[in-house]
């Protein structure tokens, strides 16, 4: 295989990266050439994404790529978090800044929505986990408030689709990102018009859906001239970051599940068809789109957002520690002092995360953490126990024997959480790659350009390209005992 280069943009809810991938001789090498923050901007009571800043960082990355260009790029692909979107008017001008999914405008909207169309009917069509941040509830909040932006909108584009539009002028919605909206029919992979009509959301604003690996268009001449980059195809990978991460899981058995670990943790399996029944609804599992027409049956949990927000508060208080220092403190803290439910609504976007954790512990009759290491250990132990809770629910929905947990994403570098996950579940863990999202993004671009013949071949390349670390369960009986005592906290 000759060497070919691709550029992946991975926009996360905390930061973004531009990553060059070189595919050569059955190996993928990644190089982060630009890293930038992705701050949520609060204006009065609302929270937005700064799309202009992010697009400018994208162009800075293209300039950096052009300066090291010995051979032209074979493709550019963008992935981001799910559910959020921008609106364009009839002249394709952006109508304001995209709202953040943590904005409070969706407070109480789910209940209003279910008075119009039942929870069961929505789930039967979409198979998507109910969270107030989903696109359906963001749009319903605009209908409810008679937001003029919605009335003036001609096109809705999810965040990666919006970046693709800004790079090419083409308007499409990639399947995996569209599936997070709770507006897509999980079976026929098309917009569910009955939901749009029932909620008075204009379905005409939704863009045509394309599959992962679609060449969206060429980089527009204005960007080529501004950045000095060679004209290149813009390719829609799996534009939802988790879908790209799952594509890069170096599977080595048939009976595996994954945890995509980052700001959010997503725990699930790959299936050929959506699993939509009373049990999956009761346990709030979601059927999101994957690569090669697969379904990712999974459930979201809050993830390392809890630790990120604690660290942010401690930094404001003059206590600035990196994540490795925080984990060291956790090693010296007592085990199982307190356990929280990471998905309690009080943790969605509190102004003071440590205070929210203390209040949860008081509310549930537990000792409260005091030292920083105790907070960190509480978070990591709670996440591991919540993972077990979700895995048990998953196995009840889709009976199968699990012999491996693959943990990918930035959280796979947290060795303490990896070991706790194995301990709590009683299942061996394989951690890595940490850059699974970018790797999957690039694999799908390479498949689109016929440089890789199949997803299986791509996963074999991942397995041989990145170091993987294995963990075996320790003290599982102790963790099981603690789980039985605290699982009542979990929903």
Q: Which residue has the tokens 């990120």?
A: 308
- Tell me how far CA of residue 365 lies from CA of 40, 182, 216, 338, 486, in angstroms: 34, 36, 54, 9, 11
Burial class (CB in 10 A: 0-12, 13-18, 19+), 100: buried
**CB contact at 8 A, 281 and 323:** no
DSSP output for 79-145? EE-SS-EEEE-TTS-B-SPPBPTT-GGGTTHHHHHHTTS-HHHHHHHH-----TTSHHHHHHHHHHT
Could you list the beta-strand ranges (E) of 222-285.
233-236, 256-261, 265-271
CA distance 273 to 461: 26
- Tally of CA atoms within 13 A in the half-sphere of 263 that contains its CB: 16
Could you tell me the two tokens for 370? 């005091």
- Tell me how far CA of residue 131 lies from CA of 4, 98, 453, in angstroms: 40, 18, 37
Could you tell me the two tokens for 155? 């096109």
The catalytic position among 79, 233, 241, 341 is 241
CA distance 306 to 264: 9
- Tally of CA atoms within 13 A in the half-sphere of 209 that contains its CB: 19
- Tell me how far CA of residue 340 lies from CA of 59, 60, 137, 407, in angstroms: 41, 41, 27, 22
CA distance 296 to 286: 8
Is 241 marked active-site? yes
Give residues with Cβ within 8 angstroms of 471, minimum separation 6: 418, 419, 421, 422, 428, 429, 430, 431
Spatial CA neighbour of 7 closest among 27, 35, 30, 26: 30
Q: Which residue has the tokens 């300066």?
A: 67
Spatial CA neighbour of 407 closest among 384, 424, 387, 429: 429
**CB contact at 8 A, 126 and 142:** no
CA distance 123 to 405: 27
Catalytic residues: 241
């Amino acid at each position: 295989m000759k060497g070919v280069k691709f550029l992946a943009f991975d926009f996360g809810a905390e930061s973004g990266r531009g990553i060059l991938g070189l595919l050569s001789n059955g190996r993928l090498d990644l190089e982060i050439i630009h890293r930038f923050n992705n701050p949520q901007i609060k204006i009065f009571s609302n929270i937005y994404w700064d799309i202009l800043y992010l697009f400018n960082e994208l162009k800075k990355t293209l300039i950096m790529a052009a300066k090291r260009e010995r051979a032209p790029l074979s493709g550019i692909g963008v992935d981001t978090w799910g559910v959020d979107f921008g609106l364009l008017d009839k002249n394709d001008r952006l109508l304001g800044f995209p709202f953040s999914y943590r904005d409070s405008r969706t407070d109480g909207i789910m209940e209003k929505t279910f008075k119009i169309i039942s929870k069961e009917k929505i789930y039967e069509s979409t198979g998507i986990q109910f969270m107030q941040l989903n696109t359906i509830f963001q749009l319903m909040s605009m209908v409810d408030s008679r937001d003029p932006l919605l009335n003036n909108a001609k096109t809705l584009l999810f965040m990666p689709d919006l970046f693709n539009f800004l790079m090419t002028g083409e308007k499409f919605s990639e399947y995996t990102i569209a599936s997070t909206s709770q507006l897509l029919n999980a079976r026929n992979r098309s917009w569910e018009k009955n939901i749009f009509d029932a909620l008075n959301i204009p379905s005409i604003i939704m863009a045509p859906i394309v599959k992962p690996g679609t060449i969206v268009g060429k980089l527009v001449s204005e960007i080529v001239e501004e950045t000095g980059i060679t004209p290149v195809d813009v390719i829609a990978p799996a534009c939802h970051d988790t879908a790209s991460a799952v594509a890069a899981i170096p599977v080595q058995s048939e009976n595996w599940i994954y945890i995509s670990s980052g700001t959010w943790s997503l725990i699930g399996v790959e299936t050929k068809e959506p699993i939509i029944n009373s049990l999956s609804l009761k346990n709030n599992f979601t059927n999101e789109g994957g690569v090669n027409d697969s379904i990712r049956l999974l459930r979201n949990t809050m993830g390392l957002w809890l630790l990120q927000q604690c660290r942010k508060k401690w930094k404001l208080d003059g206590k600035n520690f990196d994540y490795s220092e925080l984990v060291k403190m956790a090693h010296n803290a007592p085990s199982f002092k307190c356990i929280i439910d990471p998905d309690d609504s009080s943790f969605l976007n509190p102004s003071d995360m440590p205070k929210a954790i203390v209040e949860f512990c008081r509310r549930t009759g537990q000792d409260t953490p005091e030292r920083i290491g105790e907070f960190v250990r509480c978070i990591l132990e709670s996440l591991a126990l919540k993972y077990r809770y979700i895995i048990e629910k998953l196995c009840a929905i889709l009976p199968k024997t699990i012999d491996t947990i693959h943990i990918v994403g930035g959280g796979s570098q947290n060795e303490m959480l990896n070991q706790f996950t194995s301990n709590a579940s009683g299942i061996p863990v394989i951690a890595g790659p940490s850059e699974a999202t970018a790797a999957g993004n690039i694999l799908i671009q390479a498949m689109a350009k016929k440089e890789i013949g199949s997803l299986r071949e791509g996963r074999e390349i991942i397995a041989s390209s990145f170091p993987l670390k294995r963990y075996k369960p320790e003290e599982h009986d102790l963790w099981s005992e603690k789980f039985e005592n605290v699982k009542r906290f979990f929903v």
